[in-house]
Amino acid sequence: MHARSEIDQYLCEGLPRPAEARLRSHLRSCDRCRSLYDLQVAFLRSLSRKPEIPTPAEEERMVRLALQAVGLQGERKELPGLLDRIIWAHASALVAAVVVVLILVAGLAWTLHAPAVPRAPVLAARLVKGRNLSLDGVAVESKAAPNTVVRAGSRLEVKKNGIAELSLERGGIVRVFPGSSLTLSGPGERIQLDRGKIWCLVERAGNTFAVQTDTARVRVVGTSFVVERQRSGETEVRVMRGEVEVEDSGKRGSIRIKGGWKTRVSPGNPPGPPRRYNPRRDRSDWERFLDELLRGIRRAVKKVKDLVKGL
């Protein structure tokens, strides 16, 4: 069976063409994966409050597949750059050199005298889906959650009856469990987890990814793991696959743990010894939250339909 993250990535971000072809071929022969795929499609449509209409991403995917099938998807052509135009211009080399020098001098002068322009906020992630959450204290409506931009430094809070999934700018997915609060830094490369639990599915491409709580810091390049900041103040790290390095915030010690193992960091202490762990627990928790959310959406849709029929 395919990993749930691969199906989610296909629906939310897309996959490379070979991986997409393999997944679509598998879905045609695997009833269990097809059922999961259909459930995710229904979930994304429900979030848009139009369950009978394909989402914009779904329509775009269907159009792209149709164009590929008839061979009409063209290649993007690059325009010649300024340097190429200067080098291959019919003017003499001396004139070209003078032009380049003048441009550089004018640009330097403008830079020295131009007013300072405030830097644009750094994009950290985008919300793939979410419900009952807020960004910097402002509630995000469910229908507006998909593709909502999360800037570096923004505080994301998910209520006890909410849920959220983030697509990181660096690559990868972070699933935020109910009752969690976190802040993202840089282009989605660091997360400060103040409360709750997150499930990180990080791609190997890109820079090192880190999750930090008040007691521990978890560093990784590419893997699947869960970080939970517990009410007792302890931080528990559970690795589903891959390998992570866990260090306490006071830098008293660090350990590496692999898939199927976990460790716990208590305040003022180095990470505890690794212990065996069954990853099915966290996968089941996430699926349970999703199922509860879908049931809530279906109940709300049914109430609306019943109300309309009664008018």
Write the pLDDT tens digit of every residue in 149-182: 899 999 999 998 888 999 888 888 899 999 999 9
> Would residue 254 count as lying in a domain?
yes
- Cβ proximity of 214 and 234 under 8 Å: no
CB within 8 A of 210, min separation 6: which ones?
189, 190, 191, 217, 218, 219, 220
Q: Is the pLDDT of residue 302 over 80?
A: no
Q: Same domain, yes or no, for 282 and 204?
A: no
Write the pLDDT tens digit of every residue in 218-265: 988 678 889 999 989 999 999 988 899 999 999 999 999 998 999 999
Q: Same domain, yes or no, for 264 and 161?
A: yes
Q: Same domain, yes or no, for 41 and 148?
A: no
Q: Same domain, yes or no, for 298 and 249?
A: no
Binning pLDDT at 50, 70 and 90, where does residue 83 land? very low
The structural domain count of the chain equals: 4
**What integer is the mean pLDDT of 273-290?**
85
> Would residue 162 count as lying in a domain?
yes
Q: What is the model's pLDDT at position 9?
A: 76
**How, if at all, do strands 190-202 and 209-212 pair?**
parallel
Q: Same domain, yes or no, for 271 and 283?
A: no
Q: Same domain, yes or no, for 131 and 205?
A: yes
Q: The domain containing residue 107 runs over which residues? A: 82-113
Q: Same domain, yes or no, for 163 and 219?
A: yes
Binning pLDDT at 50, 70 and 90, where does residue 49 land? low
> Between 4 and 125, where is the model more confident?
125
> Would residue 193 count as lying in a domain?
yes
**What integer is the mean pLDDT of 194-199?**
93
DSSP 57-126: HHHHHHHHHHHHHTT--PPPPPPP-HHHHHHTSSS-HHHHHHHHHHHHHHHHHHHHHSPPPPPPPPEEEE
Average pLDDT, the chain: 79
Q: Same domain, yes or no, for 202 and 309?
A: no
**What integer is the mean pLDDT of 44-71?**
68
Question: Among all chains, which residue has been given the structure tokens 């644009």?
Answer: 120
